[in-house]
Amino acid sequence: MLCASLALLAAHRAPAAPRSRGGARSAVVSPTTPAPLPLVERFWSKAAYLSHHSEVLGDALAFAAEAHDGQRRRSGEAFIVHPIEVAIILAGWRMDADAIVAGLLHDTVEDTDVTVEQIEGRFGAAAASIVAGVTDGAAVPASQSQRELLLAISRDWRVALLKLADRTHNMRTLEHMPAAKQAAKSRETLDLFVPLARRLGVEEIERELDQLCVSYLGEERPDGPSLLDSLLEDERICLRRQRACWREHRGACASSV
């Protein structure tokens, strides 16, 4: 599987050049910014339960690596490391192939010239829909983006898990951001993503995110209802069905071991 993905990476050409949006990532002049081989091997090890989907996973890995070629994170590492780490988190939850593909591609629409339509044409409507659900519009106010996220979650519970995996890896690497950004991201995480993990019943991520936030904010906590609670009240969106889907998925995984 590793050899196949590297062959695809060598053969594939990105549909358009990546662009930088600042923040945690920036474009650099570089002929290639490949993923470290140990990381790719760890991805395949985690995704071994999807061996019958290895071709599409390898294609998605190559597609993402090409699309993000030339981009680096604040840490200096190749940007492709982030989507692979997100996909590894999802694979640890034994998510389906569409969710893993979406994890690998989740930043391509937001941070490169790849479109949702291109993803749908190459990887199918389900993966494209999940990517669209976690993609923030460049000119969309934060409040509108948060409401759109909850609407996307109400349509597909996998959007919530991808968003949690994305935020988890970003929080794990937050030390590379300026102090003001660390504080802002930590407050947002406490206000939106920790309550989201709690409501969905993803206890290990709830605990990890909370602990990471404490490491940057101390014991500071938002006053009053969380942002998630306020959004749910405003939009009257219920996450009970998504929580049930998560529990059913976890139960099925446990029974198959």
Q: Report the SS3 class of residue 86.
A: helix
- What distance lies between CA 177 and its chain's CA centroid? 18
Which two structure tokens, joined as six digits, stand for 95?
């998510």
Q: Which residues contact 91 (CB under 8 A, 6 or more apart)?
A: 43, 46, 47, 49, 50, 100
The residues assigned a catalytic role are: 110-111
**Smallest Cα–Cα separation from 115: which of 91, 135, 87?**
135
Q: How many angstroms separate the Cα of 144 from the Cα of each of 80, 136, 139, 149, 150?
A: 28, 10, 10, 9, 10
Q: What kind and span of H or E run contains 72?
A: strand 71-73
Tokens 């990890």: give the residue.
Answer: 208
- The Cα-based distances of 193 to 12, 70, 150, 166 in angstroms read 35, 30, 11, 10
**121 CB-contact burial (10 Å; exposed 0-12 / middle 13-18 / buried 19+):** exposed
CA 54 to each of CA 43, 46, 81, 166: distance values in angstroms, whole numbers, following the listed order: 11, 12, 19, 22
Structure tokens that stand for 45 in this block:
């090890």
Give the C-alpha separation, 59 to 7, whole Å: 10
Place of tokens 């409507």: 125
